Structure 1
Amino acid sequence: MNQLFVDRTEELAFLEEKYKENRAQLIVIYGRRRIGKTELLLKFVKNKNYIYFLCEKTSPQLNILKMARKMAEYLGKKSFARIQFADWEDLFREFLEWKTGDEKVVIILDEFPYLIEIDKGVVSVFQKIWDEYLSKRTDIVLILCGSSIGMMETDVLGYKSPLYGRRTGQWKVTELKLPYIKSFVPSYTFTELLYLYGALGGVPAYLCKLDPKLKVFENIEKLFLRKGAELYEEAENLLRQELREPRNYKLILEALAEGKRRISEIANTTGLDKAAVSRYMDTLELLDIVSYETPVLEKPKTKKRLYYIKDNYFNFWFRYIYPNKDLIEEKRGKIVLEEIIADYNNYMSIVFEKIAKDFVLKISLPIKIHKIGRHWWKTSKGESLEIDLLGFNKNKKEYIIVEVKWSRLKFSDVKRIYKALINKATKLNISGKLYYCIIAKEIENKDSISGAISNVLLFDLKDLEKVYFSQKQL
């Protein structure tokens, strides 16, 4: 296993800044499971005084007992752990009385939602602990950490939470950025990194499992396509940890992976009613597995929504692993691998659109983009049209119209796509300065085409690689 601590410079800088402030700190750190929150926090407290406690789904008293042992260890007084504490408030109050000197200590409660699950009132207790004791101290940094995004955003950060307005800092830990994946597989080409990103995303716990000596699809076979493989049942395990009815959620995620993106389509495919699908979808959004997009020119509250699986690992798993579990159980993973290889460029076209959007926002363009996203609409004649990426400046006087293609384009392809973009722009009926852009896997003779068609910006993987792996901007 490739045990690496990669990137997280922004997160560490944020935590260090908070640590150096001369005031009490209540910091909330959260993010999906396996994203590297614990590793981040342990990296942060290295060479600092700290108490780390992993909460358990046991009982309040057992958690308090084990936390008391951790505090006793920090205090260097075993007798502290022998005290019978009535509750969390009693424990913290006593700890502060026993703590001598003004040395700063970081107290980390990891998987804080476990405490909430066994005792809903614990959040109110911690409100009192903060208000009456910790907020008055400059020598305590309290960090509440959790993987249950919905619970952290609602029960800890939400406006109805007893702790609302008390946190001094919060950070949602997200996936590693694309360039840092290379740290786990240094010999991979940029295209191979994109293939890998499509299957694993930027989740450190998954990337650590890669064998840098194996090729992309060899790693995929090793991690997914054998019974007992490390990522074979990971998606189901995560859903079981978070949800009461994983079966219905799996039906919905499978439908999404098949390309069903509207509530009505998902309801028809799964046999669930629309209202139920909407409720399940809200939960999947809270878990950061699913999201939706609306036509970029529509008002924010529009009901025109297209849902998608935003987590690449889940998207890959429900597209290729879940429908083929019987074959994998029968030790016929090679057949599944052949299917993946045959279809992977189709799958990557979806992944590449997300990468292309990020790329456009990184580079220097003739337009200062205020907002960018997919746009779809119907013309007055009932024709359905779609633009992969439509960006515009703040006053909507300038627009950039982008086509994204995970394929190799020739001069004839570029001309055809450019002509189609102009046609779509005409039917969209927007006024202002228009720029056109094509982002592809490869564009043959790109420089000569740019000279022949000067009104279109052309980019391919070579350009993306330059931007992602150097400080130079195009």
Structure 2
Amino acid sequence: MSHINFINRTHELAFLEDRYRSHKSELIILYGRRRVGKTELLIRFLKDKQGIYILATTESEKTNIGIFAQEISDFLNDPNFARVSYPSFEALWTSFLSHHQVQKIVRIQQKIPIVIDEFPYLIERDRSVPSQFQRIWDLHMRDNPVMLVLSGSSISIMEQEVLGYKSPLYGRRTGQWQVEPLSFLHMKEFLPWSCVDLAQVWFTTGGIPAYLELFDPTTDFWSNITRLFLTKGAYLTMEAELLLQYEFREPANYLTILKAIAERNTSLGEIIQQTGLDRSMVSKYLSVLMKLHIVHEELPVTASPGSRKRRYRISDPYLSFWFRFIYPEMTAIEARQTPEVLTRVQKNFSLYSGALFELLTEHLIRERVLFPHIHINQLGRWWHNEMEIDLVSICEDEDLMICVECKWTDLSKNEAMSILKKLEEKSRNIWWRNENRKTICALVGKKISGKDEIRKAGYEVHDLSDIPY
């Protein structure tokens, strides 16, 4: 991610600055999926400070200690520091903290920030690393003016080996932050395109900065998709498999399950039937995918937690697009049949976009871009038998329920009114505070004509022109 496009990390930087200004030592855990912008965030945080940034590698502990020693040597401006052979990470950090330069720096600034990026690489090489760093923190860093930031892209390792209850580091952290993709509202800062085009980019990449920077703003959406996804050896053609290999040593069954979900097999029974895997195996893999935030489990928004009406969807738009369109076409892409693949993708992209537009609308509601003055307690889809509503928002304090239909299409006033009237009828089947509740029916579409008249009829209606992009 380039320094030019460092966009909208205000909250993340404020969090790090607040921890830096505290009057105690800090152990911060920062993590998030690959390419989300963690490294650039940390480098930006260190920009105006005397601090240490170290990128761990997959090499041996001895090699990493040598890399750490060299970075620390450069920071201290002491070549002799790197000439010592340190037997352990503890010996390295003990030597650093006792160095005469450390006290000089602390007199200038309250605290020395130390960032270890891709910390999971160390753990993969040696599972005792969390125990080593527990000892380093407890005996050497906790009572010294340091801010230690452990960062990583492997969600499984960061949540289990670093943040997990059984981790030696459990209870030591003083703060944690999961770095999320950028909001849709900030995509225009990468691409000066129309809101429709930006929505389509979101449907294919989500808000991943490293992916957005690959798009060429001087060409159109489909030219970019062809170059980035449908060309042999292209970056985004291969990225999904790398993401999964990063989390799983044997990703084959995960690939099969994700492909089934992307093809709209969303219930447990449908996934089992589509994949041919047995129930216990599918349940196990789904559980892992949910822990990694790759798959999201859904219940009807008003259902009890014990309900069996569960559905599954891929949380990440990039992975959703890749499994729906790229993975099934890998043989054709390798054979350089790009024009034929593009025709097939374009043929089915509208249907795919409809489902992703629901997800985008959900994000915009959670970010309070839509319905900003309403405090929402619950938000999700609702279904019963053959009846479905795209999104239902519950506001318990006001006995308010908002039912939302999402349509990725251009609608006339009459078409919009017809959809809203049917939505009113469906909303009466939702059992939630039926005696006292107020129900608002809303429509969110690509483009809707006659919005003012529809609003006068008592409905909420929004299209892309209402989004402050």
TM interval, short-chain normalised:
over 0.9
Q: 2:183 and 2:256 mapped to 1: Cα distance?
A: 30
Q: 1:449 and 1:264 mapped to 2: Cα distance?
A: 41
Q: Which residue number corresponds to residue 420 of structure 2?
A: 418
Q: Which residue number corresponds to residue 262 of structure 1?
A: 267
Q: 1:409 and 1:42 mapped to 2: Cα distance?
A: 46
1:133 aligns with 2:146: no
For structure 1, which segment, 278-287 or 239-248, has the greater mean C-alpha deviation from structure 2 after superposition?
Answer: 278-287
Q: Which residue number corresponds to residue 254 of structure 2?
A: 249
Are the counterparts in 2 of residues 367 and 392 from structure 1 also a CA contact under 8 Å?
Answer: no
1:459 aligns with 2:462: yes
Are the counterparts in 1 of residues 301 and 379 from structure 2 also a CA contact under 8 Å?
Answer: yes
Q: Which residue number corresponds to residue 406 of structure 2?
A: 404
SS of equivalent residue, structure 1 residue 436: strand
Q: What's the CA shift string for 1:162-191, capped at 9, x where partnerless? A: 1111111111001011121111112x0011
Shift of 1:362: 2.8
Q: Summarize the Cα distance change of 1:60–1:199 in structure 2 as closer, same or farther, 3 Å threshold.
A: same
Residue identity in the other structure for 1:143: V
Q: Which residue number corresponds to residue 85 of structure 1?
A: 86
Residue segments in structure 2 that go unaligned for 5+ positions in a row: none
For structure 1, which segment, 173-182 or 98-107, has the greater mean C-alpha deviation from structure 2 after superposition?
Answer: 98-107
1:70 aligns with 2:77: no
Q: Which residue number corresponds to residue 148 of structure 1?
A: 154
Q: 1:107 and 1:301 mapped to 2: Cα distance?
A: 45
Q: What's the CA shift string for 1:306-359, capped at 9, x where partnerless? A: 111111111111111111112211211111112222222211111111222233
SS of equivalent residue, structure 1 residue 5: coil
Shift of 1:395: 4.8
Are the counterparts in 2 of residues 146 and 152 from structure 1 also a CA contact under 8 Å?
Answer: yes
Q: Which residue number corresponds to residue 324 of structure 1?
A: 329
Are the counterparts in 2 of residues 367 and 400 from structure 1 also a CA contact under 8 Å?
Answer: no
Q: What's the CA shift string for 1:7-33, capped at 9, x where partnerless? A: 211111111111111211111110001
SS of equivalent residue, structure 2 residue 318: helix
Q: What's the CA shift string for 1:267-303, capped at 9, x where partnerless? A: 1111111111122122222333221211111123434
1:185 aligns with 2:187: no
Are the counterparts in 2 of residues 32 and 288 from structure 1 also a CA contact under 8 Å?
Answer: no
Q: Summarize the Cα distance change of 1:43–1:429 in structure 2 as closer, same or farther, 3 Å threshold.
A: closer
Are the counterparts in 1 of residues 57 and 64 from structure 2 also a CA contact under 8 Å?
Answer: yes
SS of equivalent residue, structure 1 residue 267: helix
Q: Which residue number corresponds to residue 14 of structure 2?
A: 13
Are the counterparts in 2 of residues 155 and 161 from structure 1 also a CA contact under 8 Å?
Answer: yes
Q: 1:287 and 1:134 mapped to 2: Cα distance?
A: 30
Are the counterparts in 2 of residues 367 and 398 from structure 1 also a CA contact under 8 Å?
Answer: no
Are the counterparts in 2 of residues 32 and 287 from structure 1 also a CA contact under 8 Å?
Answer: no
Residue identity in the other structure for 1:49: Q
Shift of 1:370: 2.1
Q: 2:396 and 2:270 mapped to 1: Cα distance?
A: 35
Are the counterparts in 2 of residues 349 and 406 from structure 1 also a CA contact under 8 Å?
Answer: yes
Q: 1:285 and 1:364 mapped to 2: Cα distance?
A: 28
Q: What's the CA shift string for 1:95-147, capped at 9, x where partnerless? A: 11113322432111111111111111111111111111111012x11110000
Q: Which residue number corresponds to residue 392 of structure 1?
A: 394
SS of equivalent residue, structure 2 residue 428: helix
Residue segments in structure 1 that go unaligned for 5+ positions in a row: 379-383, 470-474
Q: Which residue number corresponds to residue 294 of structure 2?
A: 289
SS of equivalent residue, structure 1 residue 345: helix
- Could you tell me the TM-score, scaled by structure 2's length? 0.93
Q: 1:90 and 1:73 mapped to 2: Cα distance?
A: 18
Residue identity in the other structure for 2:12: E
Q: 1:446 and 1:364 mapped to 2: Cα distance?
A: 16
Are the counterparts in 2 of residues 199 and 312 from structure 1 also a CA contact under 8 Å?
Answer: yes
Q: Summarize the Cα distance change of 1:169–1:411 in structure 2 as closer, same or farther, 3 Å threshold.
A: same
Percent identity of the aligned residues?
Answer: 41
Shift of 1:365: 6.7
Q: Which residue number corresponds to residue 220 of structure 2?
A: 215
- Could you tell me the TM-score, scaled by structure 1's length? 0.92
Shift of 1:388: 1.1
After TM superposition, the structure 1 = structure 2 runs for residues 248-397 of structure 1, keeping only pairs within 5 Å, are 248-360=253-365, 361-364=368-371, 368-378=375-385, 384-395=386-397, 397=399
Q: 1:106 and 1:418 mapped to 2: Cα distance?
A: 55
Q: Summarize the Cα distance change of 1:424–1:316 in structure 2 as closer, same or farther, 3 Å threshold.
A: same
1:115 aligns with 2:122: yes
Q: Which residue number corresponds to residue 448 of structure 2?
A: 443
Q: 2:414 and 2:70 mapped to 1: Cα distance?
A: 71
Q: Summarize the Cα distance change of 1:28–1:210 in structure 2 as closer, same or farther, 3 Å threshold.
A: same
* Residue among 152, 167, 181 paired with 1:161: 167
* Residue among 235, 242, 249 paired with 2:240: 235
SS of equivalent residue, structure 2 residue 233: coil
Are the counterparts in 1 of residues 29 and 176 from structure 2 also a CA contact under 8 Å?
Answer: yes
Q: Which residue number corresponds to residue 28 of structure 2?
A: 27
After TM superposition, the structure 1 = structure 2 runs for residues 191-210 of structure 1, keeping only pairs within 5 Å, are 191-210=196-215
Shift of 1:413: 2.0
Residue identity in the other structure for 2:339: K
Q: 2:372 and 2:89 mapped to 1: Cα distance?
A: 55
SS of equivalent residue, structure 1 residue 359: helix
Q: 2:453 and 2:297 mapped to 1: Cα distance?
A: 38
Are the counterparts in 1 of residues 378 and 394 from structure 2 also a CA contact under 8 Å?
Answer: yes
Q: Which residue number corresponds to residue 97 of structure 1?
A: 98
Are the counterparts in 2 of residues 450 and 458 from structure 1 also a CA contact under 8 Å?
Answer: yes
Are the counterparts in 1 of residues 302 and 431 from structure 2 also a CA contact under 8 Å?
Answer: no
Q: Summarize the Cα distance change of 1:365–1:435 in structure 2 as closer, same or farther, 3 Å threshold.
A: farther
